[in-house]
Structure 1
């Protein structure tokens, strides 16, 4: 062992550390030498430390600054469920899609799935367009046209189950990171050779050439820092916090949160009280029995069914349709008492912990609750204004779908404690 070599490196490292401390070592400026061993990084001897300039910008995402808030329903509990009482929590900052996932986004997903994954998975990824069919209503054209007709491109995708939404998040993560890592394939589509969801078969029934037993695809190292964390469904707490957007009511330098909102906007009304758009509805919802849009010549919310995802004013985080248009899936499993069970930092209800499903008599038809029902929030084109309040919550089986539920993705703010 060359002692003088290591002593020399240690001295250089100490000097470098002193210099770096003056400038401030950080994730983006780790220094040339280790402050633990004095060994130079990115050499044959030293550890590889990639250049890092912060988390890459994720397509479609908006930054949501976290903090302390009061979650829970601000509306009268007309259902008498008492399942979301007010409590103080803190949420870390995160990212969320600016808009709901639209038909064009889902069609892109289907394009790549059909191109590089098993046909069985492609069939399972198709939305259930029959959710539009009603025995006593002529919604038949939507069954055929809503998903694929170009005029509906930027309408929110519906007929998608919670399980399908999670698969979309998995695909989106892989596809975005292939592009960011600069390792897209030469065919211009960046397709994974083995398929993300099972190997694509050739005409003879064998695995396509170039596939591997583990599905192939690009290998991405987290340590490189040039890729994004996983796209995923937001937690219920994240979704509710983002919908409230109380940052728009906060006074600079005042740490007290003195205002609360019934809806994702100020006031108790659902119409715009100001300016040239005064009197216009602020969300797409059912105004009353049989009234989805207003009268001809003076349509107000203007949407008999869903509306384009960039319609209506965004909330103070810049998020569109956090009330109305479609309800949105969140990660959490449903339990009535989640508000008192979960932690007060980044609260989340997951499977298999506390309040077991055996307590709920689903087999005896006394309950609808088990470990496969998920929360959805936000209200839809078919819901009355009560469900537009961020604190309201409902649930449905994770493998079910309707014409009133869609989703949007979220992502951790990696590399930050805020």
Structure 2
């Protein structure tokens, strides 16, 4: 071995131990060599470290910067439930759908489910369109047309239970990541075709690693080329996103100048500014028998639901965080969640504290068990009281109505910003 080869090896070793890469190590700049062992990455001996430029953009999502806030009802507790008293918490940043899941999105879901799943599951995914039926009201056209007629495409899907909403989140995660894996495969010179969960092994790229036990694509999260799970937001996330208190703090400190009753400034439900001054900022029931105003000057303009991009968005860019339809959240319902849960990313899950045995559901003294879930936001059929983000109600997770829909959320993986 000649002297030049010895010098070359010495230089490689020095480079490895001194971390030749310029700048501090980070998720997007891990360096060519391990800073603890000096072993080169992406070699036969070294660990595979994929290129990573941050979490991919999730279709339909808006970034919600986390922080400290005061959750709880800002309205008088007219229902006398005392189940959401004010308390200070901190929420990590996350993502949320800018609008409610619409009929066209659910029809897309049904399209792929029918292609890739058993007929039994397809039938279980169908919304309950009979939620519109009322014995003393002529809502029959909505039963037949609301979900599938093209004019209703961007109206929020209703008649969907909490369980069905969770199934949708699971499908959406798989479908979006299948597309991302396919894009990475194509860019790597390979190709992959298949059903919803990818029935053929990936030939190229690094977004997937082979096949799972059921024959689908096995996503390797270490590569960072796929998204975390779409899911229902927690109650705390939903309430925080609805408050949208960004920009309300005093200059130079962290004190908030005001707290909102609704997802907009002020104490009123009408627009106080501009050409639309006096018009309602959400779709709700104004009073007994008054769903929309009078002909020739309709106010909120919606006898039932309205398109998901109607009405001004809040300061996070989220539409209809008050009114239109209530929205399912992840949490199981308990009256004392506000004092039981943690003050960092609070969440009430099944099977921990406040057991359902304490509630006499069998004796018809309570409606609470481990299968009732929280919904929030108010709907086209609710009065203004329920538009306040701090109000909360619950319903059985396998039930559905014409006043409840949902939107998805996602963690902000690998970042505090």
Question: Given the two structures, how large is their TM-score scaled by the length of structure 1?
Answer: 0.91
Superposed CA deviations along residues 215-236 of structure 1, whole A, max 9, x for unmatched, are: x222110011100000000000
Report the CA distance between 1:404 and its aligned residue. Answer: 0.1
Mapped to 2, the partners of 1:44 and 1:372 lie a distance apart of 51
Q: Residue 175 of structure 1: SS of its match in structure 2?
A: helix
Q: CA deviation at 1:254?
A: 2.1
Looking at structure 2, the residues matched to 405 and 116 of structure 1 have their Cα atoms a distance apart, in angstroms, of 27
Question: Could you list the runs of 4 or more consecutive aligned residues of structure 1 that deviate by over 6 angstroms after TM superposition?
Answer: 1-11, 183-213
Kindly provide the CA deviation profile for residues 269-324 of structure 1, in whole angstroms up to 9, marking residues without a partner as x: 00000111100100000000000000000000000000000000000000000000
Secondary structure in structure 1 of the residue aligned to 2:188: coil
Equivalent residue number for residue 96 of structure 2: 96
Distance 1:247 1:187, change over 3 A: closer
- Secondary structure of 1:171's counterpart equals helix
Provide the secondary structure at the position in 1 that maps to 2:338: helix
Q: 1:365 to 1:196 in 2, by over 3 A?
A: farther
Q: In the TM superposition, what is the alpha-carbon distance from 1:251 to its structure 2 partner? A: 4.1
Does residue 1:309 correspond to 2:305, yes or no?
no
Q: Which runs of 5+ in 2 are unaligned?
A: none
Is the 8 Å Cα contact of residues 286 and 292 (structure 1) preserved in structure 2? yes
**Residues 132-164 of structure 1: per-residue CA shift (max 9 Å, x gap):** 000100000000000000000000000000000
- TM-superposed deviation, 1:186: 11
8 Å Cα contact 2:55/2:225 also seen in 1: yes
CA distance in 2, matches of 1:383, 1:191: 51
Separation of aligned partners in 2, 1:189 and 1:97: 33
Cα shift at 1:3: 18
* 8 Å contact kept, 1:10–1:39: no
Please name the residue that 1:42 is paired with: 42
Segments of structure 1 that go 5 or more residues without pairing to the other structure are none
Match of 2:212 in 1: 212
CA-atom RMSD, angstroms? Answer: 5.2
- C-alpha contact 2:186 2:204 (8 A) present in aligned 1: no
Q: Would you say the 8 A contact 1:234–1:331 is kept in 2? A: yes
CA displacement 1:53-95 (0-9 Å, x = unmatched):
0000000000000000000000000000000000000000000
Q: Tell me, yes or no, if the aligned pair for 1:9 and 1:38 is still in contact at 8 Å.
A: no
Deviation at 1:189, TM superposition (A): 19
Contact 2:178 2:198 (8 Å CA) reproduced:
no
Q: Is the 8 A contact 1:183 1:218 kept in 2?
A: no
Partners of 1:194 and 1:211 within 8 A in 2: no
Give the Cα separation in 1 of the matches to 2:177 and 2:95. Answer: 16
Q: Deviations over 1:84-143 (max 9, x none)?
A: 000000000000000000000000000000011110000000000000000100000000
Contact in 2 for aligned 1:327/1:407 (Cα 8 Å): yes
Aligned residues of 1:163 and 1:399 also touching (Cα < 8 A): yes
Q: Which stretch shifts more, 185-194 or 28-37? A: 185-194
Q: Secondary structure at the match of 1:167?
A: helix
Number of residue pairs matched by the alignment: 417
Q: Secondary structure at the match of 1:62?
A: strand
Q: CA deviation at 1:15?
A: 3.9
Is the 1:10–1:38 Cα contact (8 Å) retained in structure 2? Answer: no
Range with bigger deviation, 252-261 or 334-343: 252-261
Deviation at 1:258, TM superposition (A): 2.7
* 8 A contact 1:374–1:395 mirrored in 2: yes
Cα separation, partners in 2 of 1:136 and 1:186, compared to 1, 3 Å = farther
Q: Deviations over 1:315-341 (max 9, x none)?
A: 000000000000000000000000000
What is the rounded CA distance, in whole Å, between the counterparts of 1:3 and 1:326 in structure 2? 77
* Cα contact 1:233–1:409 (8 A) shared by 2: yes
What are the superposed Cα offsets for residues 25-58 of structure 1, whole Å, 9 maximum, x if unpaired?
1000000000111010000110000000000000
Q: Distance in 2 between matches of 1:24 and 1:98?
A: 35
